[in-house]
Chain A
Amino acid sequence: MALTGLVIIFITFFAGALIVQKLPTRADHHQLAESQKVPFLGGSSPNTHAWQRYHIRYYSMTLLFIAFEMEMMFMYPWAVVYVTEGVKALAEMGMFLAILTVGILYGWREGIFRWQ
């Protein structure tokens, strides 16, 4: 039931946004000139496509992020049973977080939070 509601809301917004974007283009009788398609670079024109093998300067940070994101997955069920499990749950998650924190410290020393 709740999911149906969510899906309906999702589709309504999605369709609404699409319609708002598409309607004016039908009334617009101006042709899109080639010179209008040029991306903005302060008046200059690019020679090449911008789609490139982009140098993501923070790539090593994203690896650390994955570790935390996985941990997040364990935390959802953990949060629900936390009170019934008591101190044991706290200790377990504490250890887990402590290990991950060592990961942060190591990464920090290696300088992965800077733009490489």
Chain B
Amino acid sequence: MAVTILGRLAARAPVPVFVAMGRDGAPAIEHLLKSGDIDFTATPRHANILLVAGRTRESDQPYLDRLHDQMPHPRATFWWGDAHSDDIDEARRSASADDPVAPLRALYRKLIGGSYASETHRLSDEPPAPWRGRGDHGQGGEGMMGGVPYGRMMPMPPTPDIRDGLALDVYRTQVGPFMPYWPAGLILEVTFQGDVIQSAEVVQPPYPPRDIDREPFDRLLHEQTPLAQIERTRATHHLACIARVLSLVELPTLSRRAQIVAARIRANETVAIGPLRKAAARAGLMAAIKPGLGRIDDDLACELGGPVRRAAGHVLDSRNDDPTYTRLGFTPVTQKQSDCQARVAQWFDEAEQALALASAAPHILIAQGQLAEPPWALRAPPLDYRVTELLPGLEWSEALLVLNSFDSAALCRMAPLETP
């Protein structure tokens, strides 16, 4: 009796969902936060439903399976997006145009109620290395450090530290590709000493900007597109980036608010960014990011282009040459410092400007084939710079701030596979 009441209460709580962003056809997940019915969790261990948004790379499948297995029982997977095959039953998928909140809630209720069987593990139930029965005590190891105690090796032997030269263990591991506030799809091989990054290497580059953000810019290539739509998409893209940074400085409520504002702008509602920006400033967002953190040199900023370049103080924006924009009195906004602070401020400035443009010219169309500045870094390779060069010596939380102060296109360009 008591258990059923508890079960019913649990089924009414916000659905804990761990999101794995896909590369192709990824829908706008911030939309889910609007109703307050869905909770995005920081780790799969706090979730019951794995939400696969869009389709991931083939090579990411094992990583996805591992996340799935890490979820506690009862657990289920939900696919949101168009690219999925039809053999998945109706209860566990949703087209990208549909609103998956109701199906997610229904699935969660069934899971909690027990009418939907919890999914079994997808990876094999084997330890990473056979260890049972080996060694002196059957622990799989030999002596102090040798062998594979309980299936894993001990951490790497000591190497001198890059700062104070103390020789202590380094911890080398792959991180990614699916974490909240981690560039989706990026897999880095990171060497830690303590919580400071000694070195990093790209294993898999991140995914390019989401289809949903790219759509109006791609459409402009072959048909007329309203200026307002282009500018609104720019604002949503920037807000999604800002939300990640907000969450990294422990302002989860503001981060959620930024995502909800983004979702409402996408739904063509009239919202102002000013209050959000003021709240973030009051909370000390800029003070929380160390000045000079993640500063990049001018050459790199110029190579990357887009908001990154404007955050370095270069007035370069293809909207400047567009007669439609010039008529609206458009002048690009810039920052000077070219560090994390400047890039975040640049996002805020551009998002506010974009909304102002959209409301100033609600019906103007841009002719097809015109070059409209996309909201991300757009210049073409080649690049000699690597994002991995920015990270060594940074403490983990600072490293994440640096990574998340770039848009995904810039990161893609800065994270090519290392050539062997």
- Which A residues lie at the B interface, using CB under 8 A? 28, 30-31, 33-36, 38, 40-57, 115-116
Provide the bound-state CA to CA distance between A54 and B125, in Å: 30
User: Closest approach, in angstroms, between the C-beta of B419 and any C-beta of chain A?
Assistant: 22
| B151 cross-chain contacts in A, Cβ below 8 A | 34
Provide the bound-state CA to CA distance between A48 and B164, in Å: 24
Binding-face segment, B116-124, B347-355, B357-365, B408-416? B116-124
User: Closest approach, in angstroms, between the C-beta of A75 and any C-beta of chain B?
Assistant: 33
Inter-chain contact A35/B123, CB cutoff 8 Å? yes
| B73 cross-chain contacts in A, Cβ below 8 A | 28, 30
Inter-chain contact A49/B154, CB cutoff 8 Å? yes
Inter-chain contact A48/B174, CB cutoff 8 Å? no
User: Closest approach, in angstroms, between the C-beta of B72 and any C-beta of chain A?
Assistant: 8
Inter-chain contact A44/B158, CB cutoff 8 Å? no
What range describes how many residues of B lie at the interface?
A: 35 or more
Nearest-CB residue, chain A, relative to B186: A42
20 residue pairs from A and B, CB less than 8 Å apart: A30-B73, A34-B127, A35-B123, A40-B43, A40-B45, A40-B70, A43-B66, A43-B178, A44-B63, A45-B128, A47-B172, A48-B154, A48-B156, A48-B173, A49-B152, A49-B154, A53-B155, A55-B169, A55-B193, A57-B194
* Contacts known (A57-B194, A57-B196); A35 close to B69, Cβ less than 8 A: yes
Inter-chain contact A38/B69, CB cutoff 8 Å? yes
Provide the bound-state CA to CA distance between A52 and B168, in Å: 9
Nearest-CB residue, chain A, relative to B128: A45
Q: Is there a chain A Cβ closer than 8 Å to B384's Cβ?
A: no
Q: Which of B66, B118, B154, B171 contacts A35 (CB 8 A)?
A: B66
Nearest-CB residue, chain B, relative to A29: B73
Nearest-CB residue, chain B, relative to A40: B43
Inter-chain contact B175/A41, CB cutoff 8 Å? yes
Inter-chain contact A48/B155, CB cutoff 8 Å? yes
Inter-chain contact A42/B128, CB cutoff 8 Å? no
Provide the bound-state CA to CA distance between A44 and B186, in Å: 11
| A45 cross-chain contacts in B, Cβ below 8 A | 66, 128, 174
Inter-chain contact A44/B164, CB cutoff 8 Å? no
User: Closest approach, in angstroms, between the C-beta of B63 and any C-beta of chain A?
Assistant: 3
Q: Which of B63, B171, B178, B196 contacts A50 (CB 8 A)?
A: B171
Inter-chain contact A54/B152, CB cutoff 8 Å? no
- Identify 14 new A-B residue pairs, CB closer than 8 A, beyond the known A38-B70, A41-B175, A55-B161: A34-B127, A43-B20, A43-B64, A43-B177, A44-B175, A44-B177, A45-B128, A45-B174, A48-B171, A49-B152, A50-B171, A52-B168, A55-B168, A55-B194
User: Closest approach, in angstroms, between the C-beta of A50 and any C-beta of chain B?
Assistant: 6
Provide the bound-state CA to CA distance between A57 and B198, in Å: 13
Produce 1/0 per residue, B22-38, CB < 8 A to A: 00000000000000000
| A38 cross-chain contacts in B, Cβ below 8 A | 66, 69-70, 128
Nearest-CB residue, chain A, relative to B177: A43
Nearest-CB residue, chain B, relative to A59: B166
User: Closest approach, in angstroms, between the C-beta of B144 and any C-beta of chain A?
Assistant: 12
Q: Is there a chain A Cβ closer than 8 Å to B126's Cβ?
A: yes
Q: Which of B60, B158, B195, B196 contacts A43 (CB 8 A)?
A: B60
| A50 cross-chain contacts in B, Cβ below 8 A | 155, 171
* Contacts known (A41-B175, A46-B173, A116-B164); A36 close to B194, Cβ less than 8 A: no
Q: Which of A31, A42, A43, A45 has the most CB of B within 10 A?
A: A43
Nearest-CB residue, chain B, relative to A33: B121
| A51 cross-chain contacts in B, Cβ below 8 A | 154-155
Provide the bound-state CA to CA distance between A14 and B122, in Å: 37
Provide the bound-state CA to CA distance between A98 and B192, in Å: 39
